[in-house]
Structure 1
Protein backbone atom coordinates (compact mmCIF):
# COMPACT_ATOMS: atom_id res chain seq x y z
CA UNK A 1 0.00 0.00 0.00
CA UNK A 2 3.06 2.24 0.30
CA UNK A 3 3.20 2.72 -3.48
CA UNK A 4 -0.44 3.82 -3.60
CA UNK A 5 0.09 6.26 -0.72
CA UNK A 6 3.12 7.78 -2.43
CA UNK A 7 1.22 8.24 -5.68
CA UNK A 8 -1.72 9.87 -3.88
CA UNK A 9 0.65 12.14 -1.97
CA UNK A 10 2.27 13.24 -5.22
CA UNK A 11 -1.18 13.73 -6.80
CA UNK A 12 -2.15 15.94 -3.85
CA UNK A 13 0.85 18.17 -4.49
CA UNK A 14 -0.05 18.35 -8.20
CA UNK A 15 -3.58 19.45 -7.36
CA UNK A 16 -2.26 22.15 -5.02
CA UNK A 17 0.03 23.41 -7.79
CA UNK A 18 -2.91 23.47 -10.19
CA UNK A 19 -5.02 25.38 -7.69
CA UNK A 20 -2.21 27.90 -7.18
CA UNK A 21 -1.75 28.34 -10.94
CA UNK A 22 -5.44 29.01 -11.57
CA UNK A 23 -5.82 31.23 -8.54
CA UNK A 24 -2.83 33.39 -9.47
CA UNK A 25 -3.64 33.71 -13.16
CA UNK A 26 -7.38 34.20 -12.74
CA UNK A 27 -6.38 37.70 -11.63
CA UNK A 28 -4.38 38.31 -14.85
CA UNK A 29 -6.56 37.02 -17.65
CA UNK A 30 -8.56 39.69 -19.46
CA UNK A 31 -11.14 37.57 -21.24
CA UNK A 32 -14.25 37.18 -19.02
CA UNK A 33 -14.80 33.57 -20.11
CA UNK A 34 -11.18 32.65 -19.40
CA UNK A 35 -11.32 34.44 -16.05
CA UNK A 36 -14.42 32.50 -15.01
CA UNK A 37 -12.92 29.25 -16.24
CA UNK A 38 -9.78 29.82 -14.16
CA UNK A 39 -11.85 30.74 -11.10
CA UNK A 40 -13.93 27.57 -11.46
CA UNK A 41 -10.82 25.45 -11.97
CA UNK A 42 -9.29 26.97 -8.82
CA UNK A 43 -12.26 25.65 -6.84
CA UNK A 44 -12.23 22.29 -8.56
CA UNK A 45 -8.51 21.70 -8.01
CA UNK A 46 -8.96 22.59 -4.34
CA UNK A 47 -11.82 20.09 -4.12
CA UNK A 48 -9.66 17.46 -5.83
CA UNK A 49 -6.94 18.04 -3.25
CA UNK A 50 -9.38 17.66 -0.35
CA UNK A 51 -10.80 14.52 -1.87
CA UNK A 52 -7.34 13.02 -2.37
CA UNK A 53 -6.35 13.98 1.18
CA UNK A 54 -9.38 12.13 2.54
CA UNK A 55 -8.44 9.07 0.48
CA UNK A 56 -4.84 9.28 1.66
CA UNK A 57 -6.08 9.38 5.26
CA UNK A 58 -8.37 6.41 4.62
CA UNK A 59 -5.55 4.27 3.23
CA UNK A 60 -3.14 5.41 5.95
CA UNK A 61 -5.63 4.19 8.55
CA UNK A 62 -6.14 0.80 6.91
CA UNK A 63 -9.46 1.70 5.30
CA UNK A 64 -10.48 1.46 1.67
CA UNK A 65 -10.74 4.52 -0.54
CA UNK A 66 -14.20 5.98 -0.92
CA UNK A 67 -15.94 5.19 -4.15
CA UNK A 68 -15.16 8.08 -6.49
CA UNK A 69 -17.98 10.50 -6.99
CA UNK A 70 -18.49 12.37 -10.21
CA UNK A 71 -16.33 15.45 -10.51
CA UNK A 72 -17.41 18.16 -8.17
CA UNK A 73 -19.14 19.48 -11.21
CA UNK A 74 -19.42 16.83 -13.87
CA UNK A 75 -17.41 17.46 -17.04
CA UNK A 76 -20.65 17.62 -19.02
CA UNK A 77 -22.18 20.31 -16.78
CA UNK A 78 -18.89 22.16 -16.56
CA UNK A 79 -18.40 22.20 -20.34
CA UNK A 80 -22.04 23.13 -20.98
CA UNK A 81 -21.82 26.10 -18.61
CA UNK A 82 -18.60 27.26 -20.25
CA UNK A 83 -20.26 27.01 -23.70
CA UNK A 84 -23.16 29.16 -22.56
CA UNK A 85 -20.83 31.88 -21.35
CA UNK A 86 -18.94 32.18 -24.61
CA UNK A 87 -15.82 34.29 -24.96
CA UNK A 88 -15.99 38.00 -25.46
CA UNK A 89 -12.55 38.89 -26.70
CA UNK A 90 -12.02 42.64 -26.56
CA UNK A 91 -8.88 43.08 -28.61
CA UNK A 92 -5.78 41.37 -29.90
CA UNK A 93 -3.55 43.06 -27.32
CA UNK A 94 -5.59 42.02 -24.30
CA UNK A 95 -6.03 38.41 -25.28
CA UNK A 96 -2.59 37.30 -26.48
CA UNK A 97 -1.49 36.76 -22.89
CA UNK A 98 -4.76 34.91 -22.28
CA UNK A 99 -3.92 32.59 -25.16
CA UNK A 100 -0.55 31.80 -23.59
CA UNK A 101 -2.09 31.14 -20.16
CA UNK A 102 -4.84 28.97 -21.61
CA UNK A 103 -2.26 26.94 -23.51
CA UNK A 104 -0.22 26.46 -20.34
CA UNK A 105 -3.35 25.44 -18.43
CA UNK A 106 -4.28 22.98 -21.18
CA UNK A 107 -0.85 21.36 -20.90
CA UNK A 108 -1.12 21.18 -17.11
CA UNK A 109 -4.48 19.41 -17.32
CA UNK A 110 -3.18 17.11 -20.04
CA UNK A 111 -0.21 16.19 -17.84
CA UNK A 112 -2.54 15.57 -14.87
CA UNK A 113 -4.75 13.35 -17.03
CA UNK A 114 -1.78 11.35 -18.30
CA UNK A 115 -0.35 11.04 -14.79
CA UNK A 116 -3.59 9.62 -13.41
CA UNK A 117 -3.94 7.18 -16.30
CA UNK A 118 -0.39 5.91 -15.79
CA UNK A 119 -0.85 5.79 -12.03
CA UNK A 120 -3.95 3.63 -12.51
CA UNK A 121 -1.90 1.19 -14.58
CA UNK A 122 0.72 0.89 -11.87
CA UNK A 123 -1.25 0.35 -8.67
CA UNK A 124 -2.52 -2.94 -7.35
CA UNK A 125 -5.48 -1.83 -5.24
CA UNK A 126 -8.69 -1.88 -7.32
CA UNK A 127 -10.24 1.00 -5.37
CA UNK A 128 -7.19 3.21 -5.89
CA UNK A 129 -7.08 2.23 -9.57
CA UNK A 130 -10.72 3.32 -9.94
CA UNK A 131 -9.93 6.54 -8.07
CA UNK A 132 -7.14 7.41 -10.51
CA UNK A 133 -9.24 6.54 -13.56
CA UNK A 134 -11.98 8.86 -12.27
CA UNK A 135 -9.47 11.63 -11.70
CA UNK A 136 -8.13 11.15 -15.24
CA UNK A 137 -11.66 11.68 -16.56
CA UNK A 138 -12.13 14.79 -14.43
CA UNK A 139 -8.88 16.26 -15.74
CA UNK A 140 -9.88 15.35 -19.30
CA UNK A 141 -13.03 17.44 -18.84
CA UNK A 142 -10.94 20.37 -17.63
CA UNK A 143 -8.57 19.97 -20.56
CA UNK A 144 -11.44 19.97 -23.04
CA UNK A 145 -12.94 23.16 -21.56
CA UNK A 146 -9.56 24.87 -21.74
CA UNK A 147 -8.99 23.73 -25.31
CA UNK A 148 -12.36 25.12 -26.38
CA UNK A 149 -11.70 28.46 -24.69
CA UNK A 150 -8.20 28.60 -26.21
CA UNK A 151 -9.48 27.96 -29.73
CA UNK A 152 -12.27 30.51 -29.45
CA UNK A 153 -9.94 33.28 -28.31
CA UNK A 154 -7.29 32.31 -30.86
CA UNK A 155 -9.80 32.35 -33.71
CA UNK A 156 -11.31 35.61 -32.45
CA UNK A 157 -7.87 37.18 -32.80
CA UNK A 158 -7.68 36.01 -36.41
CA UNK A 159 -10.94 37.79 -37.16
CA UNK A 160 -9.85 40.94 -35.32
CA UNK A 161 -6.79 41.07 -37.59
CA UNK A 162 -8.84 40.46 -40.71
CA UNK A 163 -7.29 37.02 -41.20
CA UNK A 164 -9.59 34.19 -42.23
CA UNK A 165 -7.62 30.94 -42.60
CA UNK A 166 -10.55 28.89 -43.88
Structure 2
Protein backbone atom coordinates (compact mmCIF):
# COMPACT_ATOMS: atom_id res chain seq x y z
CA UNK A 1 0.00 0.00 0.00
CA UNK A 2 1.30 3.44 -0.92
CA UNK A 3 2.26 5.43 2.21
CA UNK A 4 -0.22 8.17 1.32
CA UNK A 5 -3.02 5.60 0.92
CA UNK A 6 -2.10 4.25 4.33
CA UNK A 7 -2.10 7.78 5.77
CA UNK A 8 -5.55 8.46 4.29
CA UNK A 9 -6.92 5.21 5.71
CA UNK A 10 -5.44 6.04 9.10
CA UNK A 11 -6.99 9.51 9.10
CA UNK A 12 -10.43 8.09 8.24
CA UNK A 13 -10.07 5.49 10.98
CA UNK A 14 -9.21 8.26 13.42
CA UNK A 15 -12.21 10.30 12.33
CA UNK A 16 -14.57 7.37 12.88
CA UNK A 17 -13.01 6.61 16.25
CA UNK A 18 -13.47 10.19 17.46
CA UNK A 19 -17.05 10.39 16.16
CA UNK A 20 -17.87 7.21 18.07
CA UNK A 21 -16.36 8.68 21.24
CA UNK A 22 -18.39 11.87 20.70
CA UNK A 23 -21.54 9.73 20.66
CA UNK A 24 -20.42 7.97 23.84
CA UNK A 25 -20.20 11.29 25.71
CA UNK A 26 -23.09 13.05 23.93
CA UNK A 27 -24.33 16.10 25.76
CA UNK A 28 -21.08 16.67 27.65
CA UNK A 29 -18.36 19.22 27.03
CA UNK A 30 -16.16 16.34 25.84
CA UNK A 31 -18.48 15.71 22.89
CA UNK A 32 -17.29 18.96 21.32
CA UNK A 33 -13.66 18.00 21.78
CA UNK A 34 -14.12 14.62 20.09
CA UNK A 35 -16.06 16.20 17.23
CA UNK A 36 -13.25 18.73 16.75
CA UNK A 37 -10.67 15.92 16.72
CA UNK A 38 -12.79 14.11 14.10
CA UNK A 39 -12.96 17.31 12.05
CA UNK A 40 -9.18 17.65 12.18
CA UNK A 41 -8.73 14.05 11.03
CA UNK A 42 -11.11 14.76 8.12
CA UNK A 43 -9.01 17.83 7.19
CA UNK A 44 -5.87 15.70 7.31
CA UNK A 45 -7.52 13.05 5.10
CA UNK A 46 -8.58 15.61 2.51
CA UNK A 47 -5.18 17.21 2.54
CA UNK A 48 -3.27 13.95 2.07
CA UNK A 49 -5.70 12.93 -0.68
CA UNK A 50 -5.23 16.29 -2.39
CA UNK A 51 -1.48 15.94 -2.05
CA UNK A 52 -1.53 12.47 -3.60
CA UNK A 53 -3.82 13.43 -6.45
CA UNK A 54 -2.51 16.84 -7.43
CA UNK A 55 0.63 17.72 -5.54
CA UNK A 56 -1.05 20.84 -4.13
CA UNK A 57 -0.12 21.78 -0.58
CA UNK A 58 -2.82 23.74 1.20
CA UNK A 59 -3.20 22.41 4.74
CA UNK A 60 -5.71 24.39 6.76
CA UNK A 61 -4.54 25.46 10.22
CA UNK A 62 -6.16 23.62 13.12
CA UNK A 63 -8.13 25.50 15.78
CA UNK A 64 -8.37 22.54 18.13
CA UNK A 65 -6.00 23.95 20.77
CA UNK A 66 -8.11 27.04 21.36
CA UNK A 67 -11.24 24.94 21.69
CA UNK A 68 -9.58 22.35 23.92
CA UNK A 69 -8.22 25.07 26.21
CA UNK A 70 -11.75 26.33 26.83
CA UNK A 71 -12.97 22.81 27.61
CA UNK A 72 -10.13 22.12 30.01
CA UNK A 73 -10.71 25.43 31.77
CA UNK A 74 -14.01 24.03 33.07
CA UNK A 75 -13.75 21.46 35.85
CA UNK A 76 -15.89 18.35 35.60
CA UNK A 77 -19.13 18.57 37.53
CA UNK A 78 -18.84 17.36 41.11
CA UNK A 79 -19.73 13.69 41.37
CA UNK A 80 -19.03 12.98 37.69
CA UNK A 81 -18.01 9.34 37.43
CA UNK A 82 -15.79 8.29 34.57
CA UNK A 83 -15.93 4.59 33.75
CA UNK A 84 -12.55 2.88 33.66
CA UNK A 85 -13.23 2.03 30.04
CA UNK A 86 -12.81 5.71 29.12
CA UNK A 87 -9.20 5.53 30.25
CA UNK A 88 -8.73 2.57 27.93
CA UNK A 89 -10.34 4.55 25.12
CA UNK A 90 -7.88 7.39 25.66
CA UNK A 91 -5.00 4.90 25.71
CA UNK A 92 -6.17 3.65 22.32
CA UNK A 93 -6.52 7.18 20.97
CA UNK A 94 -3.06 8.15 22.20
CA UNK A 95 -1.61 5.02 20.60
CA UNK A 96 -3.40 5.91 17.36
CA UNK A 97 -1.93 9.42 17.43
CA UNK A 98 1.55 8.00 18.16
CA UNK A 99 1.28 5.78 15.08
CA UNK A 100 0.24 8.76 12.98
CA UNK A 101 3.16 10.81 14.31
CA UNK A 102 5.56 7.97 13.48
CA UNK A 103 4.10 7.57 9.98
CA UNK A 104 4.35 11.26 9.15
CA UNK A 105 7.88 11.54 10.51
CA UNK A 106 8.87 8.52 8.44
CA UNK A 107 7.27 10.01 5.33
CA UNK A 108 9.08 13.29 6.02
CA UNK A 109 12.40 11.47 6.30
CA UNK A 110 11.79 9.73 2.97
CA UNK A 111 10.43 12.81 1.18
CA UNK A 112 12.29 13.77 -1.98
CA UNK A 113 11.17 17.40 -2.01
CA UNK A 114 11.61 19.91 0.78
CA UNK A 115 7.96 20.97 0.46
CA UNK A 116 6.81 17.38 1.00
CA UNK A 117 9.05 17.08 4.04
CA UNK A 118 7.62 20.31 5.44
CA UNK A 119 4.06 19.09 4.90
CA UNK A 120 4.64 15.75 6.61
CA UNK A 121 6.32 17.44 9.56
CA UNK A 122 3.32 19.77 9.86
CA UNK A 123 0.97 16.78 9.91
CA UNK A 124 3.15 15.10 12.55
CA UNK A 125 2.98 18.26 14.64
CA UNK A 126 -0.82 18.37 14.40
CA UNK A 127 -1.02 14.75 15.51
CA UNK A 128 1.32 15.62 18.40
CA UNK A 129 -1.19 18.31 19.38
CA UNK A 130 -3.96 15.72 19.40
CA UNK A 131 -1.81 13.42 21.54
CA UNK A 132 -1.13 16.23 24.01
CA UNK A 133 -4.82 17.03 24.32
CA UNK A 134 -5.71 13.39 24.89
CA UNK A 135 -2.91 12.93 27.43
CA UNK A 136 -4.07 15.97 29.39
CA UNK A 137 -7.66 14.75 29.29
CA UNK A 138 -6.55 11.33 30.48
CA UNK A 139 -4.72 12.94 33.40
CA UNK A 140 -7.84 14.89 34.30
CA UNK A 141 -9.92 11.72 34.30
CA UNK A 142 -7.43 9.82 36.42
CA UNK A 143 -7.29 12.52 39.09
CA UNK A 144 -10.36 14.77 38.83
CA UNK A 145 -10.12 15.76 42.49
CA UNK A 146 -6.78 17.37 41.74
CA UNK A 147 -8.07 19.22 38.70
CA UNK A 148 -6.02 22.29 38.11
CA UNK A 149 -6.94 24.97 35.61
CA UNK A 150 -3.27 25.62 34.93
CA UNK A 151 -3.10 22.57 32.63
CA UNK A 152 -1.73 24.44 29.66
CA UNK A 153 -2.03 22.81 26.27
CA UNK A 154 0.11 25.30 24.40
TM norm structure 1? 0.75
Deviations 1:43-85 (A, max 9, x none): 11111111111111113xxxxx3254433x2x64244234334
Structure with the larger RCO, 1 or 2 (CA within 8 Å, 6+ apart) = 1
Counterpart of 1:16 (choices 12, 15, 22) is 12
| Corresponding residue SS for 2:73 | helix
Work out which of the residue numbers 119, 126, 131 in structure 2 matches 1:131.
119
8 Å contact kept, 1:82–1:145: no
Q: Count the aligned residue pairs.
A: 147
Q: Is the 8 A contact 1:123 1:129 kept in 2?
A: yes
The equivalent residue for 1:77 is 66
C-alpha separation between the residues in 2 aligned to 1:82 and 1:129? 33
Structure with max Cα Rg: 1
The Cα RMSD (Å) is 2.6
- Runs of 5+ unmatched residues, structure 2: 148-154
Q: Is the 8 A contact 1:68 1:130 kept in 2?
A: no
